[in-house]
Amino acid sequence: MDIKTLRAVFTGGSYCKTRPLTRQDYGITLQFVHPDLPETYQVHFSNSRENTGTAKTQIATADGVVIPDEYLITGKTVYAWAFVQLEGTGRTRCMVEIPVAEKPTVIPEEPTPQQRSAIDEAIEALNTGVSRSENAAGRAEQSAENAAESEKNAAESARLSKLSEDNAKDSEDNAAGSAEAAGISALNAAESERKSKGYADAAETSKNSAETAAEHAEQAASTAGYMFFYIDARGHLIYQRTSNTQVDFYLENGHLYVEAIT
């Protein structure tokens, strides 16, 4: 039998008397067993059955309702009424009488030294267990925080790794572009060198042609003969000619005429 539950079984009618309790009992649940009670209802407690004093209202369910300790400690009989309140009406369905028996006053017995030692050891063991539990809880909380921090660091590392991978891909693309540009520059340089070589060859050819033309002109002049005039520092007109050049000079109307002698 559950010592915490006091059952009031109604076999017929609206009155029931339970087994007795004592004034030292506390935390007792009163359970109404009545066919006409709903799932939830009110219970009015009092130490008086007459229309005197006051009653305390508690809400009861199918599991019952706790008897207020203040009514048991008086040592007087406890009365409880089940009251059902519906919309627009209310009715007391039944009443329970709970006898409260007196018993001798209990004198606390002082524990022996051995009992006191055992009690102290039990208290110490209990405190140690609580301390260990608190420490374990603290370590568990710290471990959870460390795990969360590790997860955060792992996520950051993954992000940085992805960023490095992207940067490496960009660098690879840039390197490929640079290599392509370098190849094009090399081709352009080779083409410029080829053209420069062509220009140099053309210039050399032009130089050789000019030298050849000069030699031919000199040979032609030597063969045909030539002459020229110039004025020196003293203001004299100087005449020079090749040995195969024959000329004749004469003045006419103030003009100097030169004729070749054939």
What are the residue boundaries of the structural domains of the chain, listed by start?
A: 5-101, 228-260
Comparing 124 with 253, which gets the higher pLDDT? 124
CA-CA distance, 155 to 191, in Å (whole number)?
54
> Is the Cα dihedral 136, 134, 120, 27 positive or negative?
negative
Question: Could you tell me the fold of the domain covering 5-101?
Answer: Immunoglobulin-like (2.60.40)
Residue whose token pair is 């409260």: 100
Comparing 178 with 89, which gets the higher pLDDT? 89
Q: Looking at the DSSP assignment, which residues form a beta bridge with residue 17?
A: 97
Lowest mean pLDDT among 15-29, 34-48, 71-85, 111-125: 111-125
pLDDT at 197: 75
Span 54-61, average pLDDT:
94
Residue 60 makes CB contacts below 8 A (sequence gap 6+) with 30, 32, 40, 41, 42, 43, 82
Biggest CA pair distance of the chain: 184
Comparing 154 with 11, which gets the higher pLDDT? 11
pLDDT at 33: 96
* 68-105 exposure pattern, b = at least 16 Cβ within 10 A, e = fewer: eeebbeeeebbbbbbbbeeeeeeeebbbbebebeeeee
CA-CA distance, 243 to 133, in Å (whole number)?
135
Span 66-80, average pLDDT:
95
- pLDDT tens digits for 178-235? 556 555 665 676 676 677 577 667 657 757 765 775 576 467 556 666 566 678 878 7
Lowest mean pLDDT among 95-104, 132-141, 221-230, 247-256: 221-230
Lowest mean pLDDT among 27-31, 52-56, 67-71, 135-139: 135-139
Reported pTM: 0.42
Comparing 231 with 17, which gets the higher pLDDT? 17
- pLDDT tens digits for 226-235? 566 678 878 7
Comparing 62 with 226, which gets the higher pLDDT? 62
Alpha-carbon separation of residue 200 from 187, 191, 211, 214 (angstroms): 20, 14, 16, 21
Max mean pLDDT among 47-56, 84-93, 138-147 falls in 84-93
Residue 192, token pair as written in the block: 């410029």
Task: Using the predicted structure, report yes or no on whether residue 175 has a pLDDT greater than 50.
Answer: no
Phi-psi domain of 235 (left: phi exceeds 0; alpha: psi -120 through 50; beta: other): left
pLDDT at 51: 75
For the purposes of burial, counting CB atoms within 10 Å of the CB of 174, is it exposed (0-12), middle (13-18) or buried (19 or more)?
exposed
pLDDT at 152: 86
pLDDT at 118: 87
Task: Using the predicted structure, report yes or no on whether residue 15 has a pLDDT greater than 90.
Answer: yes
- The H or E element containing residue 53 is none
Instruction: Please answer whether residues 70 and 101 qualify as being in contact, where contact means their C-beta atoms are separated by less than 8 angstroms.
Output: no
Nearest to 30 by CA among 75, 53, 61: 61
Percentage of the residues of the chain whose pLDDT score is greater than 70: 70
Span 145-162, average pLDDT:
76
